[in-house]
Structure 1
Amino acid sequence: MREIQNKIENADAILIAASNGLSISEGYHLFADNPAFRELFSDFRTKYGIRCIIQGMTYPYKTEEETWAFWSRLITRYVHSYTPTCQMKELKKIVGKKPYFIITSNAETHFEIAGFDSKKIYEIEGTLIEMQCAKACHKTIYPVTEMIEKMAAAEKDGLVPSELVPRCPICGGSMQLRYGFSPSFIQDEDASERYMTFIDQYYNQKLVILELGIGAGNRLIKEPLMKLAASGRDITYITINKGEIYIAGNIKDKSFGLDGDLTDILAELSSALS
């Protein structure tokens, strides 16, 4: 921990990377048939046989009224009702006043709600607060907050009223969340460009990669970041995960792996830095 503390204190910038492990530590578990899931989706569980949030996200509902009922419940609980957790508060202390950027696949916008700058966040698989044409007939992205609030208030028996189901203003077809399950998913090119600009700016400086809750086989974020760490002379790679630490052999001399609960480790690291 003292070595990690020294690396962060002397860093010119911090690149934060996060995936499901961070969400799970905050209580948002995509893969669990746990009490929280059963409380929120007991009727969907009984009617459709889904056993976790990720199954509900990908289930082929017969109607858009059912689909949007699922999403409105999920977004209301895990986005609109979210308050910053101790994990986010400790992470902000760790970053302090250093330049930073965040790349994440979590989609629930918790970083932004917790006070991190939205211009320094790349939600690589989209977000739960935006929608797009399901056919991607055009690339305009639309906010969903007001629409979801109306849906949540009007939902009954697992359905939202048909008049609240959004239609594409261009082609008149279906709309969908701008989330990474669809082949028509529209990337946030501006955020991607800002991310690459950050990498270019700090590549030859003392850059710390702080990876939170990303599995060993993750090719979307983890693999590119390990390659980045391998290529940069002064890049330090720190990965925190519970029960699964993987560090490529070619970066082991510039890396640190912390196996344990993110809540505890972030608190310990924050305390050490303060």
Structure 2
Amino acid sequence: MYSRKKTSAFTEPSWTPTERLKQAVETAEAIVVGAGAGLSASSGLLYSGPRFETHFEDFIEKYHFPDMYTAGFYPYLTLEEYWAYWSRHIYWNRYDRPVGEAYRLLLEMVGRREYFVLTTNVDHCFQDTGFDEKRIFATQGDYGLWQCSLPCCQRTFKNEESVRRMVELQRNMRIPGELVPRCPVCGRPLTMHLRCDDRFVQDAAWYATQTRCMDFLSRHRTGRVVYLELGVGGNTPAIIKYPFWRLTLENPDAVYACINPEPWPLPEEIASRALWIGADIKKTLEEITDGGAE
């Protein structure tokens, strides 16, 4: 079990950043995890390379896509081709993919104490690893949900059964026309529940999770809190990075830690209580948890 005695995380100047983070975690009263795409990438869920080449060989041959991200934004001429691509994208990133080791190690690290997860990831890895669904706020959507393309209503729709049929029945990079998903309210085509513009649906479940997240942050504005940022890039720093900096600044007992191979300068105002670990996330979590051993 982790030690609960009150000690400073930064009293040993000779410690490495990983050792300092481990001490901060061991003495934390609460941990707020902020996770971006780098956490899934550390678990091998890459959008390019062998995974992409194996599952999308035909799309690569036709369009010369370099990765799934690019392919997802391509303006396909028909809905049948659009959903042939996206059904496979959803399937291989949401329904048929391993639970990443980095996620398992993270759960081992935080599972015994107060925690909350704020993530821009949409692949459902936190839930599938065993994190408490009521402690996860996925702000940007979920591959397992669709919404009206207008949208005509603030509702989302589960897609697993439909996606599996699309993957099974598609031929020549097209799904049968009758499988094109349509809104049960207005009949317009459905689309991915991903935040791309101001049409993103924030349904009742989204707002309920946001409320739980805000309540957790409010309850832990003081005390030994670790704001742990994992694999967050520069596309949406206002969702995780900047709020974590502000919350650390407001709480003199808080620690901010960023694990990311890509360097990011730390604000001077919190430099004495901030860490950047420029290493692989999974490797760092292995060091902190001693490989996940009990």
Which band: TM-score by shorter chain? over 0.9
Contact 2:257 2:274 in 1 (8 A): yes
* Correspondence list, 1:153-164, <5 A: 153-164=168-179
Equivalent in the alignment of 1:224: 243
Structure 2 partner of 1:67: 82
Residue identity in the other structure for 1:248: P
Q: 2:281 and 2:26 mapped to 1: Cα distance?
A: 20
Structure 1 residue 204, shift from structure 2 partner? 1.5
3-state DSSP of counterpart to 2:56: helix
Counterpart amino acid of residue 254 in structure 2 = I
What is the letter of the counterpart of residue 77 of structure 1? W
The offset of 1:215, in angstroms, is 2.6
Post-superposition shift, 1:64? 1.2
Tell me which amino acid in the other structure corresponds to 2:247. Answer: L
Structure 1: gaps (5+ residues): none
User: Residue in 2 aligned with 1:267?
Assistant: 286
Change (3 A) 1:124 1:159: same
Structure 1 segment 107-256 matched on structure 2, within 5 A: 107-187=122-202, 188-215=206-233, 218-256=237-275
* Structure 1 residue 20: Cα displacement: 1.6
Match of 1:14 in 2: 31
| Partner amino acid, structure 1, of 2:282 | T
1:68-114 deviation digits (Å, cap 9, x = unpaired): 11111112112111222221121111113101111111100101011
Query: 1:216 Cα deviation (Å)?
Result: 5.0
Distance change in 2, residues 1:84/1:162 (3 Å)? same
Q: How many residues were matched structurally? A: 272
Question: Where do 5+ consecutive residues of structure 2 fail to align?
Answer: 1-17
- The CA deviation at 1:153 is 1.0
Deviation at 1:272, TM superposition (A): 8.4
Q: Any conservation in 2 of the 1:216–1:244 contact (CA below 8 Å)?
A: no
In the alignment, which residue of structure 2 is the partner of 1:40?
Answer: 55
Per-residue deviation, 1:9: 1.5
What's the offset of the Cα at 1:148?
0.7
Which 4+ residue blocks in structure 1 deviate beyond 4 angstroms? none
1:172-192 deviation digits (Å, cap 9, x = unpaired): 111011101243111322221
* Aligned residue in 2 for 1:26: 43
Task: Report the TM-score when normalising by structure 1.
Answer: 0.94
Which amino acid in 2 is paired with 1:270?
T
State how far apart, in whole Å, the 2-side matches of 1:272 and 1:23 are. 18
Give the secondary structure class of the aligned counterpart of 1:184. Answer: coil
Determine the C-alpha separation between the residues in 2 that align with 1:183 and 1:55. 21
Classify the secondary structure of the residue corresponding to 1:204: coil
Aligned counterpart, 2:6? none
- Range 215-224 or range 182-191, more displaced: 215-224
Amino acid of the residue matched to residue 214 of structure 1?
V
Calculate the TM-score normalised by the size of structure 2. 0.88
Residue aligning to 2:276: 257
Partners of 1:89 and 1:121 lie apart in 2 by 15
CA distance in 1, matches of 2:101, 2:291: 16
Larger Rg: 2
Q: Which residue of 1 aligns with 2:9?
A: none
